[in-house]
Amino acid sequence: MLEKLEQIEKNYEELNEQLASPDITSDIQAYTKLMKQHRSLGEIVEKYREVRKLQEELDGAREIVKATEDDDMRELAEMEISELEESVDRGTEELKILLIPKDPNDEKNVIVEIRAGTGGDEATLFAAEVMRMYVRYAETQGWKVDMMDVSDTGVGGIKEATMMIEGDDVYSRMRYESGVHRVQRVPQTESSGRIHTSAVTVAVLPEAEEVDVQIDQNDLRIDTFCSSGPGGQSVNTTYSAVRITHQPTGLVVSMQDEKSQIKNREKAMKVLRARLQELEEQKRHEEQASERKSMVGSGDRSEKIRTYNFKENRVTDHRIGLTLHQLDLVMEGQISEIIESLITHYQTEKLQAESVGV
C-alpha cells in the first residue's frame, strides 16, 4: 500500500505542474479533465500526508520513551503514543477506503425516476413527497434540479416524475436510493383512522453522454402530440410533446414538460441514453443486475428498502438496519445521515471483499 500511495503522491505533483502550464489552461476540455483527476487524487494525498505526519510524531514519541530517564517525561510520551496509535490506525483505515477503486459513474449527474406503486391515491401523494424530499436534499448539496417530466394527479400527487440532478459526485451519493420506499400512515381521506401501507419506486440512473451510448437514429420511432395536464386537460395546442421508442429494446420515453418540441426531444434522449446505458451494465454484470432488479421490483409493498412510518415519526433502512426517529426532518430533505451510513456500509463491504480477494 505504501508504494501505491507514494506513486499517487508523485502523480498528484505532476498534475499540479500540468495544471500550471499555459497550454493546459487554454484548453478548457483538457483542463477540466485534469482538474477531475487532481480532485480525485487530492483527497487521497491529503489523507496520506496527514497519516504520514502522525506516524512521524508517533516514532518521535517512541524514541523519547526509549531515551529519557525522566519518569514524568516518559509518562507523557506514553500517553501521547496511545493517542497517536489510535489516530494512525483510524487514518490508515480511511486511506484503505479511499484506495478502493471508484465506480466510473460516481462523478456523474443522475436521472431520478419516481413512480407511485401500490396504494392508489395515497401512493401518488407519497410519490410527490419523495420527489420534494430529493429536491430539498439537492438544495442542501448545492446541486441543480431540472424537472424533466411530471405526471400529476387530480388529488395533488404524482403518478410518476423524472428529474435531472446535476452537481459534484451526485451519483456517488444518490446511487443507493434506488428501490421501493414504503410508507405507513393514516391517509387524510381515511375516516376510521386506520393505517394504510403504500409504496413508491425510485430508480437512480447515471447520466449517459453521447460518447457513452451510441444510438442509431434508424432505430428510433419519434412521435409528437399535444401535451396535456391532469385528467387529460389540454395545456398546449401545438405538437410539442415527444414520444421516442427505441425499437430494438422496446424502451419508450415520453416528454412534455417544455413548450418546445426540440427541448422535449433533447430531454427524452437524455433519459433514453441513461436507460440504454443501464441495460448495457446489466448485461455486463448479470449478477448485480438481477440483484438491482429485485431491489427496484414492481412497487409491491413486500419489496422494500426503506419504510417511512409517520405515526411513530420513524424511518428505517432495511438494508443496513438503520432506524431514525426524525421522519419529519427526513421528509424535509435531511437525509445525509442515511446516505452517509449507506456509503460507509457498502465501502466497508468492498474493503472486506478486496482483502479476501473476492
For the chain, what percent of residues have pLDDT higher than 90?
45
147 pairs with which residues across the strands?
Answer: 163
At 292, the pLDDT band (50, 70, 90 cuts) reads very low
Provide mean pLDDT across the span 306-317. 96
- Residue 304: pLDDT over 80: yes
- pLDDT value of position 211: 64
SS3 content of the chain, % helix, strand, coil (to 5): 50, 20, 30
Q: With 0.85 as the threshold, say if the pTM is over it.
A: no
Alpha helices in the chain (DSSP H): 2-19, 22-25, 28-67, 71-98, 120-141, 170-174, 261-284, 286-296, 327-330, 336-355
Provide mean pLDDT across the span 166-195. 87
- pLDDT value of position 307: 96
Angle at 330 between CA 327 and CA 333, to 5 degrees: 160
Within 8 A by CB and 6+ apart from 131, the residues are: 114, 150, 158, 161, 163
- Residue 191: pLDDT over 80: no
- Residue 176: pLDDT over 90: yes
Q: Choose between 15 and 351: higher pLDDT.
A: 15
- pLDDT value of position 166: 94
At 318, the pLDDT band (50, 70, 90 cuts) reads very high
pLDDT tens digits, 320-330: 999 999 999 99
Residue type, 318: H
CA distances to 201, 230, 256, 300, 324 from 132, in Å: 14, 19, 20, 22, 19
**Choice among 24-33, 87-96, 228-237, 254-263 with the minimum mean pLDDT:** 228-237
**Choice among 70-79, 97-106, 218-227 with the minimum mean pLDDT:** 97-106
Which of 7-21, 127-141, 280-294 is most confident?
127-141
Angle at 255 between CA 250 and CA 261, to 5 degrees: 115
- Residue 281: pLDDT over 60: yes
Q: For 109, phi and psi rounded to 5 degrees? A: -70, 170
Which of 27-41, 163-177, 208-222, 235-249 is most confident?
163-177
pLDDT tens digits, 155-164: 889 999 999 9
For residue 251, is it left (φ>0), alpha (ψ between -120 and 50) or beta? beta
Within 8 A by CB and 6+ apart from 300, the residues are: 117, 118, 180, 199
- pLDDT value of position 333: 96
- pLDDT value of position 297: 46
Domains in the chain (CATH in brackets) are: 2-98 (1.20.58), 110-214+287-348 (3.30.70.1660)
Provide mean pLDDT across the span 55-59. 94
At 238, the pLDDT band (50, 70, 90 cuts) reads low
- pLDDT value of position 114: 96
- Residue 174: pLDDT over 50: yes
Q: Choose between 350 and 222: higher pLDDT.
A: 222
Distance CA 224, CA 204 (A): 27
At 251, the pLDDT band (50, 70, 90 cuts) reads very high
At 294, the pLDDT band (50, 70, 90 cuts) reads very low
- β-strands 179-185, 306-309: how paired? parallel
- pLDDT value of position 289: 45
Provide mean pLDDT across the span 86-115. 88
